[in-house]
Structure 1
Amino acid sequence: MNKTPSEAVALVKELIPLVKNDEVDVVFCVPAIDIIPCIEAAKGTNINIGAENMYFEEKGAYTGEISPEMLTDAGVSYVIIGHSERREYFAETDETVNKKVLKAFEHGLTPIICCGETLTQREQNVTIDFIRQQIKIAFLNVSAENAKKAVIAYEPIWAIGTGKVATSDQAEEVCKAIRDCIKEIYDEATADAIRIQYGGSVSAASAPELFAKEDIDGGLVGGASLKADFGQIVNYK
């Protein structure tokens, strides 16, 4: 919940020359009120605009929600689903995440499906079991063809907005476990095709080491996306 429409447009314009990179897919997921002005500001650039959330019905008496049809009509191509803050503060569950994932695919949207553990879960050594459960329920009834198009973002809850970053080895361990889980659900081809990202205080300093890992295909960037440093992450070396 950052940036008014005018502030968001100003940030997009600032970042346009900084994130030019034909080898990287760049997506800005913005608050719903910022979507249309940001789409206008990003026209003709390599920047895609995504949403931060979506409801799992097309329309109806769901005051305050945003439907998939509203997003696609506005020109949105990606939507974040199941972010840990949505789960923690707004009572989203694995089951509602699954409903949203299915509805996103139904409308041609690419879901960025979030998963991640708390500090207590990590300390009790249940991280992999917990995340496997999140992934298995999120992909319930999702075809292999659609699963290949999905993005999974591993974001340890203890690292979001805290400045703490999982070590590259910790992040790789979980991202590999996610890929192995997708392989179990579907097959090796699907597991190879799916994009798995790391999120959780990603910075220009931590990006190169994280993204060098075999099973980390990019980042779901939080606070660092609100400033020019984001360009360094997109063009990491």
Structure 2
Amino acid sequence: MIKIFVANWKMQKSYSQTIKWCIKNNKELAELSHRKNIIICPSFESIAKVQTLLNKNINIGAQDCSAFEKGAYTGQVSAISLREIGINYCLIGHSETKINITNTDNLNNSISEKYFLLIKNNIKPIICIGETQEEREKNITYDILKHQIDMIINKIKKEEIKINELIIAYEPIWAIGTGKVPKPEELNNTLIGIKKYINSILSDIELTILYGGSINLDNIEEFKNMGILNGFLLGNSSLDFQLFKKIVLLSISA
């Protein structure tokens, strides 16, 4: 059942545009949030202000965090700071935040460190995973996704982290901002594979699976009744509130 909608605004809105969006749409957004869990992820500089403008039923998330607890890391934002301003969720591993990191092992270790720090600070990580077009064409999607998941699971086991929920956002890199989406059968099979793999290692975990990548009014109908899917991670489709609202409402309708 579709229950979560994450709006990732990336760097698409300026500070003033973000404020205007929140003031204009707060009432309608609050009404939507009574029906579904809405998570808004604005850019860092506007987070604190957004929290004062939006209804308390609406969760505020961060788009990323540092893999370090504290220190001389110019431009990075710590999980501790996110906790102190009341952040509930944080995206980690999004392809747009790791595009210039070429060493896969270093990248995955960094994401697992972020995961640990967020859990330590009572923030729910939303772990983004996905394969490139080249990896898809080579039929190694599952290998890539398993490797990305393994780093998190290994961290959970090594640190003996006690969690009851794991949130995975499957975002095929080839679908982000391209207008391309997987066929429903392909997506369903991929999500089933992800769930089976995680459950084979963490059998009593509550797994929440989101899909992201070029979701719009034309394809939401194809995915909304997919039983294994719990929600969507939306980029461009969340910038225009009326479009975002229509997608949410369509997901609710029979």
TM-score (norm 1): 0.91
Shift of 1:75: 1.5
Shift of 1:43: 3.5
Shift of 1:144: 7.2
The match for 1:32 is 44
Q: Percent identity?
A: 31
The match for 1:170 is 186
Q: How far apart are the structure 1 equivalents of 2:65 and 2:118?
A: 8
TM-score (norm 2): 0.86
- Whether 1:154 and 2:170 are equivalent positions in the alignment is yes
- Whether 1:86 and 2:100 are equivalent positions in the alignment is no
Q: How far apart are the structure 2 equivalents of 1:115 and 1:107?
A: 22
Q: Equivalent residues in 2 for 1:106-121 (5 A)? A: 106-121=120-135
1:13 to 12, 19, 23: 23
Give the number of the structure with larger relative contact order, counting CA–CA contacts within 8 Å between residues 6 or more apart: 2
Secondary structure of the equivalent of 1:179?
helix
After superposition, the Cα gap between the structure-2 partners of 1:144 and 1:100, relative to the gap in structure 1 and judged at 3 Å, is: closer
After superposition, the Cα gap between the structure-2 partners of 1:14 and 1:151, relative to the gap in structure 1 and judged at 3 Å, is: farther
Q: Counterpart amino acid of 2:82?
A: L
State the Cα RMSD in Å: 1.7
Q: Counterpart amino acid of 1:105?
A: I
Q: How far apart are the structure 1 equivalents of 2:194 and 2:20?
A: 36
Q: Equivalent residues in 2 for 1:172-211 (5 A)? A: 172-187=188-203, 189-190=204-205, 193-211=206-224
Shift of 1:96: 0.6
Q: How far apart are the structure 2 equivalents of 1:123 and 1:156?
A: 12
Q: Counterpart amino acid of 1:26?
A: I
Q: Counterpart amino acid of 1:232?
A: K
Q: How far apart are the structure 1 equivalents of 2:234 and 2:122?
A: 23
Secondary structure of the equivalent of 1:205?
coil
Q: Counterpart amino acid of 1:139?
A: I
Work out whether residues 26 and 234 of structure 1, in 8 Å CA contact, stay in contact via their aligned partners in 2: no
Work out whether residues 49 and 78 of structure 1, in 8 Å CA contact, stay in contact via their aligned partners in 2: yes
Work out whether residues 152 and 197 of structure 1, in 8 Å CA contact, stay in contact via their aligned partners in 2: yes
Unaligned runs of 5+ in 1: none
Q: How far apart are the structure 1 equivalents of 2:41 and 2:228?
A: 23
After superposition, the Cα gap between the structure-2 partners of 1:58 and 1:43, relative to the gap in structure 1 and judged at 3 Å, is: farther
Q: How far apart are the structure 1 equivalents of 2:162 and 2:195?
A: 16
Kindly tell me the number of residue pairs found equivalent between the two proteins: 232
Q: Please, which moves more after superposition, 197-206 or 111-120?
A: 197-206
- Whether 1:76 and 2:92 are equivalent positions in the alignment is no
Shift of 1:29: 0.9
Shift of 1:90: 4.8
The match for 1:131 is 145
The match for 2:72 is 61
Q: Please, which moves more after superposition, 164-173 or 193-202?
A: 164-173
Q: How far apart are the structure 2 equivalents of 1:30 and 1:185?
A: 34
